Amino acid sequence: MTRPDTKRVVLVTGASSGIGAACLSHLEARGFSVYGAARNTPGLLALDVTSDESVAAAVRTILDREGRIDAVINNAGIALAGAVEDTSPEEAQRQFDVNFFGVLRVCRSVLPTMRAQKSGTIINIGSIAGLVAVPFQGFYSASKFALEGLTESLRYEVRPFGIHAVLVEPGDHRTALTNNRRSLESTTYADAAKRAIACMAQEEQAGPDPINVARLVHRILMARNPRLRYTCGPLSQRAAIWLKRLTPFALVERIIADHYLK
């Protein structure tokens, strides 16, 4: 375990804005030694999660300075919106390369150190969209669904080494993801896609401040035995998870279609 007089060292990916930036500032204010990372942001550690070499170099920098890594917040992500039919394999691969394989690269890079320490926490920022998919966000949801399975399996594997793997599943929050979302052009699905994407954007910008996610992350890091999944965000979106688990899917399908497509 970390000595009481040692600051816990935390790496936060995707720290240039939104949830990542909120985690960076909130944890720093509470005494953690936090390395915020992004692809190309002055003042942050350079880290491109789509590059093995970039991830390895960033982790090596932290270890050279600190000698340990106690936690990773895998937050880096992008959003692609559009119909499944309109999405090329290259575009789908780009979505997965950041949201899924980026997490894998970071985990593979930090786990040898955490195993040697016999301690560590990996928090993967998923999404309620990784539990309940919505129309015209198929590959974003797919990447987050995949992250669910990866983290669940990882948790079994690393627990014997004193390492915790945890999922945080936010609903809509006010972040730069809204403006940075890439929307695909369509002819067949144009009207429906426009309505769905507009609904997403409106709810995101009306959502809570990402500091709520940062506070949750802090509570997880302070917990002795954090559980696998934590959700946060608007009550209606969190309720959709239980609705999907407890009711026939036909009901869930009708509610979501009415919400996003009408």
List phi, psi (to 5°) of 80.
Answer: -120, 130
Number of CB atoms found within 10 A of residue 221's CB: 21
Residue 20 CB contacts under 8 Å (≥ 6 apart), including other chains: 12, 13, 14, 36, 38, 73, 75, 76
Catalytic residue among 35, 140, 230, 260: 140
189 is annotated as an active-site residue? no
SS3 at position 42: coil
Contact 46, 98 (CB under 8 A): no
**Which parts of 88-189 fold into alpha helices (H)?**
89-99, 101-117, 138-158, 177-180
For residue 212 the two structure tokens come to: 């709520």
Contact 129, 137 (CB under 8 A): yes
- CA-wise closest residue to 232 among 179, 151, 173, 181: 173
For residue 236 the two structure tokens come to: 């209606």
In degrees, rounded to 5, the angle at the alpha carbon of residue 244 between the alpha carbons of residues 238 and 249 is 150
- CA-wise closest residue to 6 among 119, 90, 134: 119
At 23, which helix (H) or strand (E)? helix 18-29
Active site residues: 140
